[in-house]
Amino acid sequence: MSEKDERPIIVKRRKAGGHGHHGGAWKIAYADFMTAMMAFFLLMWLLSSVSSKELTGIAEYFRTPLKVALTGGRNAADNSGVIPGGGTDTTRTDGQKSRGDQTRSRQATTAEMAERADAQRLRDLKARIEKAIESNPTLKQFRKQLLIDVTTEGLRIQIVDDQNRPMFANASAQVQPYMRDILREIGKSLNGVPNSISLSGHTDATAYAQGDKSYSNWELSADRANASRRELIAGGLDGEKVLRVVGLATTVPLDRDDAYNPINRRISIIVLNKRAEQSVKHEGDQPTIDAANARGAGSNAVSAAMSGEMSGGPAMPGLPAPPAPPAAPTAPGASR
């Protein structure tokens, strides 16, 4: 037998039914898919639970550049939301208030309390002045010429003229002795409150011979108001408290039925409340837009300046408020 015939025959057989190892990559892919689906359904739920206004705020947030967002957003000053430049605060319910709302509410409450305290202070001053008049024999005899009431501007003290007892010399700003006593006594009382003072002078309708062409009731009323200011200060009033001194001539008569009634000749002292005081101090803050608006604003300012006088109405009983009195005839004499 040859050597070739003696070689053994080897047969290799594979086992049926076996499979190789495929690894765990499919598990990772499945987990990613489930995470994506959860995120998708969570997004859909959020979108369905918020309003369109809140969605607009969220969209604005993602459109805002990072640099702008870090500095507070484009509209940060215009909203109270937690998203810079966005809409309203989505963390609040209808019954809750933001920090800004709470601050504004506290400020409003503080302002209201200050106004009440201011009004009470003026009422107390009115009571003190009336008590001083009753307890002072010199002032008590002039009680009928002293009118004290409260107007929209504050506490108003009016000293009215009398046919037989004028406050000033005829056609002059020279203060009569009894008027000097009244003003100086009032000046002592006005320092007891921090409020500013407004003074206005008024005349009756008797005109100067030259009318308004030269010295007129306008100058006379202003001079008398200023003379009264000096007497108040002489009585002890702090001059820094005087905020306004004006002459209104015959424009605001106390007796509108009779423009020549002596009671129309008067000095009005107003202890301004804080609102009226601020209005006077800032009346020139608003710039005019054009000439027409400037003229309208000027006439409105004059009306506002006299609002306390007009709104207070007649201070004496039985004085109605009919239409304005007829024009006064030119007289050779002057308003007293």
pLDDT tens profile 7-47? 777 777 666 555 555 667 888 888 999 999 999 988 888 87
The average confidence (pLDDT) of the chain is 78
User: Considering only CA atoms, which of 141, 220, 215 is closest in space to residue 174?
Assistant: 220
The strand pair at 154-160 and 266-272 is best described as: antiparallel
Res 9: pLDDT: 75
Q: Are 263 and 254 in contact (CB under 8 A)?
A: yes
User: Which tens digit of pLDDT belongs to each residue from 139-173?
Assistant: 888 888 999 999 999 999 999 998 788 999 999 99
Alpha carbon distance 164, 78 (integer Å)? 65
Q: Are 273 and 195 in contact (CB under 8 A)?
A: yes
Res 19: pLDDT: 57
Q: Work out the pLDDT band at 74, boundaries 50, 70, 90.
A: low
Task: Tell me if the pTM is above 0.85.
Answer: no
User: Considering only CA atoms, which of 254, 147, 268, 146 is closest in space to residue 204?
Assistant: 254
- Which carries the bigger pLDDT value, residue 131 or residue 47? 131
Res 328: pLDDT: 42
The strand pair at 242-247 and 266-272 is best described as: unpaired
Alpha carbon distance 169, 230 (integer Å)? 16
Question: Domains in the chain, ordered, with CATH?
Answer: 112-282 (3.30.1330.60)
DSSP 229-259: HHHHHHTT--GGGEEEEEE-TTSS-S-SS-T
Res 15: pLDDT: 62
Q: Which residues does 23 contact at the CB level (< 8 Å), separation at least 6?
A: none
Q: What is the DSSP letter of 330?
A: B
Q: Work out the pLDDT band at 318, boundaries 50, 70, 90.
A: very low
Q: Is the pLDDT of residue 102 over 60?
A: yes
Res 97: pLDDT: 57
Q: Going edge to edge, which strands form the sheet with 266-272?
A: 146-150, 154-160, 266-272, 197-202, 242-247
Q: Is the pLDDT of residue 290 over 80?
A: no
